[in-house]
Chains A and B, each alone.
Chain A
Amino acid sequence: QVQLQESGPGLVKPSGTLSLTCAVSGASISSNNWWTWVRQPPGKGLEWIGEIYHSGSPNYSPSLKSRVTISVDKSKNEFSLKLNSVTVADTAVYYCARDGGSDRGGAFDFWGQGTMVIVSS
């Protein structure tokens, strides 16, 4: 069974950098899948942040592109998210997910449990 687990600080200061890691088990990060980050502000809907393939080719949401970096560590079977210059608007539950639910791509079939990140001084 594929499992994903997010980890990282739950509190980040404004203007700082949010850093999260997603550990993948039960599947190889080098498989033919994209690996994705999605976030959800409290009480609000889902926002796609970006994705990466094991070859290291990331795609980002245009609204976050200037601040976000997604990378992959094949030796640890994990991928990471960095979001810099954070503000209170970046407070959210951050999910990592596998894009593998459809042969055409674009369906997120396995998700981490999510990790709450609060931006506050």
Chain B
Amino acid sequence: DIQMTQSPSSLSASVGDRVTITCQASQYINDYLNWYQQKPGKAPKLLIYDASNLVAGVPSRFSASGSGTDFTFTINSLQPEDIATYYCQHYDGLPRTFGQGTKVEIK
């Protein structure tokens, strides 16, 4: 199985800050990577697909990049409603696997 490693596991930032999360795959996955946001008690929500494509309706302060084994997810200008746990997920073959998650909190 391909292992997905996210860092950090949690972070605290101020409103308006730029937040960056990294995700590393245990082997080459091209750009077969998605990012999800999960708020407490809710189902995950797809934000980014194919490594860098923003889902329609998702605010443009969210962005992502990367290819191969190293990926980055960014929130430009953190907002209070962005408090959530963020997960990366690969789809280069089966099984699909998720990163362990990054919990984002407001300082």
Contact = CB atoms under 8 A, between A and B. Distances in A.
A62 B1 CA distance: 9
B44 A46 contact: yes
Given A101-B34, A102-B34, A107 B46 contact: yes
Contacts of A108: 34, 36, 44, 46, 89
Interface of B: 1, 32, 34, 36, 38, 42-46, 49-50, 53, 55, 87, 89-91, 94-101
- Chain A interface mostly helix, strand, loop or mixed? loop
Contacts of B98: 45-48
Contacts of B101: 45-46
Interface residues of A, number: 25
The 9 closest A-B pairs by CB, nearest first: A106-B91, A111-B43, A107-B49, A48-B96, A46-B98, A102-B49, A61-B95, A107-B34, A101-B46
